[in-house]
């Protein structure tokens, strides 16, 4: 785990410290406890504290912070909840972290247009609570209580993506602070536009490397008339995944379909006090009218049965569905209990749906020979699955084994015309694979964009694309 050792820390100049102190007073914090909190995420990397942390309250304060950082060439890293898995928020070159906890207001609800505008610190559960009275909901659900700004930066996805898409499809517009301290709006709230470059899509997934997001307008949807969930067990991993492929090819408009391998089911049972049958399983959810949901469920049940699916169990009451999906969302923390004291190395890939069974099966066969516990779960309706490896944090050998698994998994996915990350993002952990996936010319174009938007390399440096290559 030496990737952090390769970066030189850019120490805060005294003049910058004085400018930050004058502008932000007691909200310019240099205490080690606060800094260490902001130098940690859910990745396997060690603590990497920033030089200071600022808690901005509005766009003007973000502008002023960025201007000071640009003047003195100080790195600036946006921080939402810290739930990222690939080292996105680690300030590996030092600098100042902007914590958006206090920029957490819902600014506008335009129910007639199916859009809501929020500050970046709003978390997804808060957003849904505040718009519940309108009969609308925001469907992107990565599991963690992630902030909308963080979800936008990483192009987050989640359990509902198979029906509602990812953040890429659901961010309508945003306001961004540039390196020069200007506030730009990437687009209007119109449902479509043929006007100029698509700046919105450029910033979605940019992981804080091109600018600081200070406002996001997202798409919301009517709450479905009927919702029902079901669990189906399968004799093998392959039969479960094959069912998903056939379900998607049948054209059923399923809302969610999630996979858990046997180890993940055991972990969830222990952690969430459930009694799920401990075999590979699929969790389904259907949205629509009463008649539509029933028809969808009947088709899915037949396909599952043809692939050896057993014991279709329904969860129609809201409290039962919530318990099931909470357990699924907690699978990361459930997995940690398989080896107390371990460190989780999590990775994900996404492949075309037709190659999903092959990719998952080959990965599972390789993991069987490892000396550490692991789980496989996935948003398999869109070809995306996750591997969690639980390694001894003091074992260099286990770390290298897990990194070998990660490299081979990513290469396998790319050979299948897939991607190194379906939703975790790049951060630090996936940077080495961008050339293999995109090619040198495309990677060079990404670097040129980074240099143009951020000439002093202040925005989350050392992430996504290499500045010096």
Least confident of 125-129, 253-257, 357-361, 415-419: 253-257
CATH number for the region 106-222 comes to: 3.30.465.10
Q: Comparing 397 with 320, which gets the higher pLDDT?
A: 397
CA distance 150 to 213: 9
Q: What is the DSSP string of 132-171?
A: GGGTEE-----SS--BHHHHHHTT---TTHHHH--HHHHE
296-341 confidence digits (pLDDT tens): 989 999 999 999 998 888 887 888 888 888 888 888 889 999 999 9
Decide if pLDDT at 6 tops 70: no
179-210 confidence digits (pLDDT tens): 999 999 999 999 889 999 999 999 999 999 99
Range of 124-128, 139-143, 161-165 with top mean pLDDT: 124-128
CA distance 235 to 237: 7
CA distance 373 to 389: 6
Decide if pLDDT at 35 tops 80: yes
Decide if pLDDT at 144 tops 80: no
Q: What is the pLDDT of residue 7?
A: 64
User: Token pair for residue 398?
Assistant: 């286990």
* Other residues' Cβ atoms within 10 Å of the Cβ of residue 361: 15
Domain locations along the chain = 14-101, 106-222, 225-316, 339-429
Class of the domain covering 225-316: alpha beta
Q: What does DSSP say about strands 374-379 and 384-391: parallel, antiparallel, or unpaired?
A: antiparallel
User: Token pair for residue 402?
Assistant: 């897990």
pTM attached to this predicted model: 0.92
Decide if pLDDT at 466 tops 60: yes
Decide if pLDDT at 422 tops 70: yes
Q: Which of the four pLDDT bands, split at 50, 70 and 90, describes residue 1?
A: very low
Q: Which of the four pLDDT bands, split at 50, 70 and 90, describes residue 468?
A: confident
Q: In CATH terms, is domain 339-429 a member of 1.10.275.10?
A: no
**Quick one: average pLDDT of 16-24?**
97
CA distance 387 to 332: 10
Q: What does DSSP say about strands 384-391 and 343-350: parallel, antiparallel, or unpaired?
A: antiparallel
Decide if pLDDT at 469 tops 70: no
Query: Is 225-316's fold the same as 339-429's?
Result: yes
CATH number for the region 14-101 comes to: 3.30.43.10
Decide if pLDDT at 4 tops 70: no
């Amino acid at each position: 785990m030496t990737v952090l050792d390769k970066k030189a820390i850019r120490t805060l100049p005294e003049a910058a410290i004085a400018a930050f102190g004058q502008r932000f007073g007691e909200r310019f914090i240099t205490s080690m406890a606060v800094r260490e909190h902001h130098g940690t995420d859910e990745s396997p990397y060690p603590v990497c504290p920033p030089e200071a942390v600022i808690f901005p309250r509005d766009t003007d304060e973000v502008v002023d912070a960025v201007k000071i950082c640009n003047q003195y060439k100080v790195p600036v890293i946006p921080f939402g909840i810290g739930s990222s898995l690939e080292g996105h928020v680690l300030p590996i070159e030092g600098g100042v972290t902007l914590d958006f906890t206090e920029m957490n207001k819902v600014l506008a609800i335009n129910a007639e247009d199916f859009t809501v505008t929020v500050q970046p610190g709003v978390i997804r559960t808060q957003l849904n609570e505040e718009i519940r009275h309108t009969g609308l909901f925001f469907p992107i659900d990565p599991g963690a209580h992630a902030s909308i700004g963080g979800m936008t930066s990483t192009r987050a996805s989640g359990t509902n993506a198979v029906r509602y898409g990812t953040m890429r499809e659901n961010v309508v517009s945003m306001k961004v602070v540039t390196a020069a301290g200007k506030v730009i709006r990437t687009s209007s709230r119109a449902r479509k536009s043929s006007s100029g470059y698509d700046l919105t899509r450029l910033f979605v997934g940019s992981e804080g490397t091109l600018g600081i997001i200070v406002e996001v307008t997202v798409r919301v949807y009517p709450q479905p008339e009927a919702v029902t969930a079901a669990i189906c067990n399968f004799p093998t991993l392959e039969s479960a995944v094959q069912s998903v492929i056939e379900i998607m090819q049948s054209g059923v408009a399923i809302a969610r379909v999630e996979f858990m391998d046997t180890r993940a089911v055991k972990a969830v049972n222990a952690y969430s006090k459930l009694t799920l049958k401990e075999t590979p399983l699929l969790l389904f959810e259907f949205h629509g009218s009463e008649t539509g949901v029933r028809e969808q469920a009947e088709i899915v049940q037949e396909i599952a049965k043809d692939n050896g699916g057993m014991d279709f169990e329904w969860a129609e009451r809201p409290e039962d569905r919530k318990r099931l999906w909470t357990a699924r969302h907690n699978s990361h923390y459930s997995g940690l209990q398989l080896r107390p004291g371990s460190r989780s190395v999590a990775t994900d890939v996404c492949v075309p749906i037709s190659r999903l069974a092959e990719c998952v099966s080959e990965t599972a066969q390789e993991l069987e020979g490892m000396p550490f516990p692991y789980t496989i779960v996935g948003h398999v309706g869109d070809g995306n699955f996750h591997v969690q490896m639980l390694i001894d944090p003091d074992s260099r050998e286990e770390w290298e084994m897990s990194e070998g698994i990660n490299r081979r998994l990513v290469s396998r996915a790319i050979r299948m015309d897939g991607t190194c990350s379906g939703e975790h993002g790049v951060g630090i952990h996936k940077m080495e694979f961008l050339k293999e996936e995109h090619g040198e010319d495309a990677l060079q174009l990404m670097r040129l964009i980074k240099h143009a938007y951020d000439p002093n390399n202040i925005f989350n440096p050392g992430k996504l694309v290499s500045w010096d290559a």
